[in-house]
Structures are given as structure tokens and as C-alpha cells.
Amino acid sequence: MSAEPGNDAETSPRTFVTERQFARRLFILSAFLAFGIILWLTIDLLLLIFGSVIVAVLLHAIADPVARHTPVPEHLALAAAVIGLLIIFGLAGWFFGSEIQSQAANLGDRVPEAWSSFQVRSAPPWRPCAACAHPNSAVDDDPAVGMKHLAGHVA
């Protein structure tokens, strides 16, 4: 069995995919694609679940030492942890609420100004002004006037 010069079957082995292998690979690809679409569509729910788990771990991290070192049952220690955190956040809102409110009002006043400033700065430099857009403008007729007009845009 010698290899003939024109026979590629002997020199480079080809691998063929059977229909069953193709269907299996197609199924795996489809499964990954479906998983990605489901993950994309449920990302908000997944973030909510993740945040809930983090809060539950935090509450149990506060309640477990209380239940371990006192004769209080675990469910009452958990309730005390929730009430304690609510009191802490309520006091923080009480002490800093007026400052937060004034800063939020200041931010509400400054955002429209910042947005319009951003729009002006990000406008393309080639946007024509009223003189450029006028069809019978002197800018089109006299090159010297056009250069002065262009210099006015650059400056």
C-alpha cells in the first residue's frame, strides 16, 4: 500500500462527522445559547436574589453571636438584628437627611446645566451656523470672508 502522488486519502486523513455527532454538537450549542438568553432575560431577578442572599448573610452574621452568647432564641435574635439595623438607618436618615436633601436639590439644579454644557461641548465642529447654511451667503462667494468666518468658528 504505497501512496500515489494524486491520492490525498492516504497522505492526509480526513475526519468525518456523523449525523449523530453533528446533532449532539448542535444540541450542546443550542443549550448554551438558550442558557445565555435565559440568563440575559433574568439578570434583574438574579441580581435581586443575590442581594437578598447578601442581606440574609449580614443579618445572620449579626444575629448568630447574639443567639450564641445570650439565652435569646435564634429567631428573636434575628428580629433584634433587623430592628437594630432599621434603627441605625433611621437615625442616620434623621441626622443627615437635611444635608442629603439639600445636596439632592443642588444636584437637581446642576444636572440640566451640566447636560446643556455637555451637549455644546460634544457638538460636532462641522455643524453649520446660520451664516454657513444660508444659500446666498457671502461666505460662499468671497474666499477671504470665508476664511474670516471659519476663523470665527475655530476661536
What would the pLDDT profile of 45-78 be if each residue is shown by its tens digit? 999 999 999 999 999 999 999 999 999 999 999 9
Question: What is d(CA 126, CA 150) in angstroms, rounded to the nearest whole number?
Answer: 10
Q: b/e per residue, 86-104, with b = 16+ CB within 10 A?
A: eeeeeeeeeeeeeeeeeee
Torsion of CA 35, 37, 40, 44, to 10 degrees: -80
The answer to whether 95 and 89 are in contact (CB under 8 A) is no
Say if pTM beats, i.e. exceeds, 0.75: no
Tell me what pLDDT residue 68 has: 92
pLDDT reading at 127 higher than 90:
no
The C-alpha cell at 125 is 465642529
Task: Give dist(CA 140, CA 69) in Å, integer.
Answer: 88
